[in-house]
Structure 1
Amino acid sequence: MKGIIAALISIGLAQFLKVPIRAMKTGVWDWRQIVGSGGMPSSHAAGVTSLATYIGLKLGSRSLDFALSIIFGLIVMYDAQGVRKHAGDTAIKVNELEKRMDQLSGHDNDSSHDKREKQLKESIGHQPEEVVGGAVLGLFVGMITFFNQRNK
């Protein structure tokens, strides 16, 4: 149960940290980042790394649980910076293409033209440094959770 708590703390902390980190880059405090995907640090990487760290410290690096959590974590992190990143890149191109098509057809300001209600979500994946940032955060939270619980 403590491993799950460590993972949830990591996910929550990563989501919260996205707001000030983005504000430092853009100057805008966008609180929607707390529930958004993408950005620094990766909450997916933080959660799975925290869980794997806790399990490794609790049960040992030779345990089946640790092995499973490592494999699961690697798949999640690969997906975050691979598949989901490419889906976001594709969404950017589709949104740009739709905007350009509307401009070329003369429908860019035409309210009678059928448009999608929302653009495709573009920020759904991670850059490698965002995944590493989440993993480092998860490593620390997993260790703190384990040693804090052990000292009680």
Structure 2
Amino acid sequence: MEYIYLITPFSAWLVAGITKFIVNSIKAKQLAFGLIGYGGLPSNHSAIVSSMVFLIALKEGVAHPAFGVAVTLAFIVLLDANSLRQQVGKHAKAINALQADTKNKPLRERMGHTRIEILAGVAVGFVVAWVLFNLFSNVAA
């Protein structure tokens, strides 16, 4: 088994998560442990799925059936990150406003991603896939 297919999405998740923590900490002017989760720049989901799209394109080529499957999965995840999850966040905000006087724990409002956050995730996925592809290619050679 080629472990690059396991290492690449995990590495993309890790790089995107660390980058997001740094960006959030800079914005908050303090360590932003409370902002870890859904939403923010870059999108972890976008980084993970796009890393596999780019890895498969680099290793197998764009004519390979696995590339088509990866693009399809990435398309679904990217659409979900931009539209559905943003709507979930808007609903959470409205529900939180309605239950402001209760003792219920507020729902997480920060859910979806902007197009810039998604594109940043895709960029992270590309860079991680390219670096690991070249690293593993040189090791195998």
TM-score (norm 1): 0.85
State the secondary structure of the residue aligned to 2:24: helix
The alignment status of 1:133 with 2:130, answered yes or no, reads no
Amino acid paired to 1:139: F
Structure 1 residue aligned with 2:92: 91
Structure 2 residue aligned with 1:45: 46
Of structures 1 and 2, the larger Rg is shown by: 1
State the secondary structure of the residue aligned to 1:18: helix
1:98 Cα deviation from its structure 2 partner? 2.0
The alignment status of 1:115 with 2:103, answered yes or no, reads yes
The alignment status of 1:14 with 2:16, answered yes or no, reads yes
1:3 Cα deviation from its structure 2 partner? 2.1
1:28 Cα deviation from its structure 2 partner? 2.5
CA contact (8 A) 1:42 1:134 kept: yes
Q: Distance in 2 between matches of 1:84 and 1:122?
A: 10
Residue of structure 2 aligned with 1:150, choices 116, 126, 137: 137
CA contact (8 A) 1:81 1:128 kept: yes
- State, as a whole percentage, how many aligned pairs show the same letter: 30
1:32 Cα deviation from its structure 2 partner? 4.0
The one-character-per-residue Cα deviations of 1:76-99 (angstroms, maximum 9, x if unpaired) are: 011011101110111112112222
Amino acid paired to 2:63: R
Q: 4+ runs of 1 displaced by more than 2 Å?
A: 31-34
Structure 2 unmatched runs, 5+: none
Q: Distance in 1 between matches of 2:136 and 2:35?
A: 30
Amino acid paired to 1:142: A
TM-score (norm 2): 0.91
1:19 Cα deviation from its structure 2 partner? 1.4
User: CA-atom RMSD, angstroms?
Assistant: 1.3
Structure 1 unmatched runs, 5+: 103-113
Amino acid paired to 1:6: T
Amino acid paired to 2:74: G
